[in-house]
Every structure is written in C-alpha cells, then in structure tokens.
C-alpha cells in the first residue's frame, strides 16, 4: 500500500498579490503626476489656432501684475538685457519664449521684444521671440 504525504508542494505561482502591487503603483503615479506643475507662475495665456514648436533657449514670464520673470527669477526691464545676454551666451540663433498673461498691456510685450532686438543689433545675432499661447477651444 502506497502512502501519500498530506502536504504536497505545488509548483504554481499566485499572481493576485503581484497584480495588486501593480495597480497600487499605477494609482500612485497617476496621483503624483497631477501634482507636478510645469509652470510655477500662474498665467492665463492668450488663445490661438496656430501651433509653432521651437527649441526654447530662454523663457520669460510676464504675470498679470506686469512683473517679468526670467526662468522663474523676478527681474525688471532695466536688467533684462543683461539677464538675457547671460542666458543666451554665444548662441547666434536662440529662441526667447515669452509666456505672457493675456491681460498684460501690449506695450510691456513690445518692450521685451525691443530688448531682444537690441541684443540682435549689438551682437549681430538672429534671436527670435515667440509668444506662447494656449490652444483655442
């Protein structure tokens, strides 16, 4: 008579705990990705239908109080020339992306473009200013 042992080992793998772990990680990454804010400065960009993508060298922000930020650092219009020149360096064709609130007077935007044009004239470069917009709904 053959006696079989009661405790037999099975070569199966239970995937229930692994799938629970995967779903928990998925929920964690979905929740944390919504907390990441790409722009620290809150702006309401003007809307446009055109889409222009460019490699941005420098990003300027102008908030609704007409305060200028150069890469998240507050700067005034008088020192903007030196700030842009130090960021662009020796590049001959750089893109300055201007993210301006839509309530900012157009004169402030034109003043920033004039600073970039002054740099172009002095150093004989071809920097361009791109006004960032949001998609039109």
Q: Is the pTM for the entire model greater than 0.85?
A: no
In sequence order, which residues have a C-beta less than 8 Å from that of residue 113 and are 6 or more positions away?
Answer: 98, 129
Residue 120 pLDDT level (bands cut at 50, 70, 90): very high
CA distance 82 to 62: 17
| Segment (H or E) for 117 | helix 106-123
Greatest pairwise CA separation for the chain in angstroms: 103
Say if residue 47's pLDDT is above 80. Answer: no
Q: Which domains does the chain have, with CATH numbers?
A: 47-135 (3.30.420.270)
CA distance 98 to 56: 10
Say if residue 39's pLDDT is above 90. Answer: no
CA distances from 19 to 22, 24, 26, 33, 132 (A): 5, 9, 10, 21, 42
């Amino acid at each position: 008579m053959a006696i079989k042992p009661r405790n037999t080992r099975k070569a199966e793998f239970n995937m229930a705990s692994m799938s629970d772990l995967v779903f928990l990680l998925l929920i964690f990454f979905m929740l944390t990705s919504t907390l990441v804010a790409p722009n620290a400065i809150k702006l309401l960009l003007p809307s446009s239908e055109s889409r222009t993508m460019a490699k941005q060298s420098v990003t300027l922000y102008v908030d609704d109080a007409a305060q200028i930020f150069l890469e998240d650092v507050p700067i005034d219009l008088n020192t903007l020339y030196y700030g842009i020149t130090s960021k662009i360096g020796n590049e001959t064709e750089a893109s300055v992306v201007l993210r301006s609130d839509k309530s900012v007077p157009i004169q402030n935007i034109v003043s920033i473009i004039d600073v970039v044009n002054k740099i172009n004239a002095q150093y004989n470069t071809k920097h361009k200013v791109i006004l960032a917009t949001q998609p039109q709904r």
